[in-house]
Amino acid sequence: MNTISKHGLVIIGGGGAGLTAALAAKKTSFETDITLITKDCLSYSPCALPFVISREIEDFGKISKGLEDICKMSGIKYVFGEAVSIDVKNKTVKTKHTEIPYGRLIIATGGNPSIPPIKGAHLRNVYTLHRIEDAQKISEATKDAKHAVVVGGGPIGLEAAAAFRELGIKVALVEGLEYVLCRLFDPDYCQLIEKKLEEKGIELVKGKNVEEIVGADKVMAVKVAGREIPADIVVLSTGVRPGIKIVENTGIEVSGGGIKTDEYTETNVKGIYAAGDCTITKSVLTGKHMPSLLGTTAIRQGTVAGINAAGGHAVFDGVLGSTILKIFDLEVGRCGLTEKEAKAEGIETVTGRVKSTTTAEYYPKGKWLELKLLFEAKDGKIIGAQVVGGGGVAGKINLLTFAISRKATVEDLVRLEYCYTPPLAPSHNPIVLAAENAYRKMKRTREKEKR
């Protein structure tokens, strides 16, 4: 095991990636001298914020803990403040008040909301939903709001829209592209999700961009295609950019908007690692690099960075974009490539589809479930999955992510052994049924080719 020099390990950022890295480093080598520099005094999962706004989680106290206390309990030094620069040559990190030497460094500065240049975006009651402070302000504003407009139909936009609707607020969701969640799902699955949003009373305004946010001091409306949609609250959910300001002029390589790392999460500068939303990650399937912006990636990368920076050995293989969401009572999930993405990569595919149920068909509390699997036509390898329905989506996405990462084929999934009991799962597993559907299509094609 390599030992760290006398100045120990310094970590910038105490979010999912930074704190996980600190704890992983401690577990790897208890003697490691760790200093965590962070602008935040609370540790929380941003993923929980929409559910506090909707009041499904009682209050913000339930999702947050004092970061200083966590550090104290774990033997980690905690420095509250903003790291403003890194001196790679002299191996120091400067905050506004102090300069901290490091032996190894982990950058885990997260991301920042990307706000489009819309007139009126500065008005009162126009928010982004990124940090706990944003959610606290939004939550306060919902108390006397009747109309909300959410701009952006990605996962956070949908969760915000659903949260407002749960509170009885009239909601319009504006998405510039043709479908909501269209970067994650194919149009057929986007439509299933949109149906649920509309059923619950969310107005979808698609294929149109916001022209202006209208108001005097406070927001009053959002102008889209000449129409003014009333708004007491606006949430701009228009993307997140990796937070890379700290690495400007350091020589640490940035590519595609985020910090570039290798399979050990090390940057091009030896001894400096990076993890979480500030990085770009490699797609396991295409080998292309892009920001992942998922809490799961932050935790996986943070773990690898912490172990390696503390002298251990761990590898980060890349991502398959495994994502799940709960929109009202609808669960949705995906992993790997969509049909659209596969086509753009020039991959010929065969799909397997099934309409199934979450329990045995006759069981009273069963709910519907639709599942689509995507296989490479040339060798039958699974490369993507989409699932929408009333339950059990997370387990299926986890299994299918593993199947993709292990290069499982359609034959492997047709032969899958699974569990069954009427109240929990149908006797015919939907993954097997969808694989059989694809298998039959492949067989027919092969037979046609032989003739």
Residue 15 interacts with ligand FAD (CB under 6 A): yes or no: yes
Known catalytic residue at 41: no
Residue 33 and residue 43: Cα distance in Å, rounded? 21
> Concatenated DSSP letters for 157-185?
HHHHHHHHHHTT-EEEEEESSSSTTTTTS
Our CB check for ligand FAD shows the closer of 152 and 380 to be 152
Stretch of residues binding ligand FAD (CB under 6 A), selected from 10-18, 208-216, 280-288, 428-436: 10-18
Stretch that binds ligand FAD, among 142-150, 291-299, 364-372, 380-388 (CB under 6 A): 291-299
Considering only residues 87-146, where is the footprint of ligand FAD by CB under 6 A?
108-111, 129-130
As separate numbers, helices (DSSP H) first and strands (DSSP E) second, the chain gives: 11, 29
The answer to whether 206 and 173 have CB atoms below 8 angstroms apart is: no
Distance CA 359, CA 363 (A): 6
At 154, the amino acid letter reads: G
Per CB under 6 A, 70 contacts ligand FAD = no
- Kindly state the smallest distance separating residue 112's Cβ from ligand FAD, in Å: 8
Pick 127 or 375: Cβ nearer ligand FAD: 127
- If the CB atoms of residues 13 and 152 are measured against ligand FAD, the closer one turns out to be 13
Closest to ligand FAD by CB, 156 or 388: 156
Q: Which stretch binds ligand FAD (CB under 6 A): 38-46, 171-179, 195-203, 310-318?
A: 38-46
Inter-axis angle of helices 16-28 and 295-309, nearest 10: 30
- x/- track of binding to ligand FAD for residues 45-64 (CB under 6 A): -xx-xx--------------
What is the nearest approach in angstroms of ligand FAD to the Cβ of residue 277? 4
Residue 189 or 375 having the CB closest to ligand FAD: 189
Choosing from 33, 40, 232, 341, the residue that interacts with ligand FAD (CB under 6 A) is 40
Spatial neighbors of 281 by CB under 8 A, at least 6 apart, are 289, 290, 291, 292, 297, 301, 316, 318, 319
Q: Active-site residue among 47, 71, 190, 419? A: 47
The 3-class SS string of 272-324 reads EEECCCCECEEECCCCCEECCCCHHHHHHHHHHHHHHHCCCCCCCCCECCCEE
Q: Which residue minimizes CB distance to ligand FAD?
A: 15
Half-sphere exposure of 205 (CA within 13 A, CB side): 21
Instruction: Tell whether residue 21 is a contact of ligand FAD (CB under 6 A).
Output: no
Which listed residue (118, 202, 244, 246) binds ligand FAD by CB under 6 A? 246
Query: H or E stretch including 219?
Result: strand 219-224
Part of the chain binding ligand FAD (CB under 6 A), chosen from 196-204, 292-300, 340-348, 375-383: 292-300
Q: Secondary structure of 329-397 in the HEC alphabet?
A: CEEEEEEECCHHHHHHCCCCEEEEEEEEECCCCCCCCCCEEEEEEEEECCCCEEEEEEEEECCCHHHHH
Residues catalogued as catalytic: 47
Binding site for ligand FAD (CB under 6 A): 12-18, 37-40, 46-47, 49-50, 82-83, 108-111, 129-130, 156, 243, 246, 276-277, 293-296, 298
